[in-house]
Structure 1
Amino acid sequence: MSALSKAKGFKKSKTGTYMSMAATAFGAVGVAKQIKKARVENDTLRLADAVVTAAGVVTGLALLYRELKRLGDDDVLLG
């Protein structure tokens, strides 16, 4: 298997899914800062935006978790 084909399959691997989950979770830090700033400034519109963004982050993590469960033990890149 060539390095290029391994790289193309990385996103569909357990390791790639874990990396995506970490990146998505890192986005939650930005959302938390946005919520804190909106509450301090009493900005309802910014708070609503942050809540919707947080819902997107949670949904993204749930989708990635489902993909991770679907991969199961048949991950060929780790072996």
Structure 2
Amino acid sequence: MQKAKGFTKSRTGTYVSMAATAFGAIGVAKQARKARLEHDTLRLVDAAVSAAAIVTGLAILYRELKRLGDDDVLLG
């Protein structure tokens, strides 16, 4: 169990989280396409907000990935 807790803070765990977050973009794209076809403004706004959340999440995960990379460098 302890090993699983550390996985999310590992480089591999961060890549998995980035992939899962990016995979969510597919659903948002489908939602936006359907909203445009149906001229549903409210669903289109929802898709835009969801897309913004995905971009923000990816940016946070990228920052975490860079931080993990900085910790790996041996300063001497």
Same fold (TM over 0.5): yes
1:37-76 Cα offsets, whole Å, 9 max, x none, are: 000000001000000000000000000000000001646x
Shift of 1:5: 2.4
**Structure with higher RCO (Cα < 8 A, 6+ apart):** 1
Q: Does 1:69 align with 2:71?
A: no
TM-score, scaled to structure 2 = 0.89
Instruction: Report the equivalent of 1:11.
Output: 8
Give me the identity figure in percent: 78
What are the ranges of 5 or more consecutive residues in structure 2 without an aligned counterpart?
A: none
SS at match of 1:12: coil
1:1-79 to 2 correspondences below 5 Å: 4-72=1-69, 74=71
TM-score, scaled to structure 1 = 0.86
Aligned-residue RMSD, C-alpha: 1.2
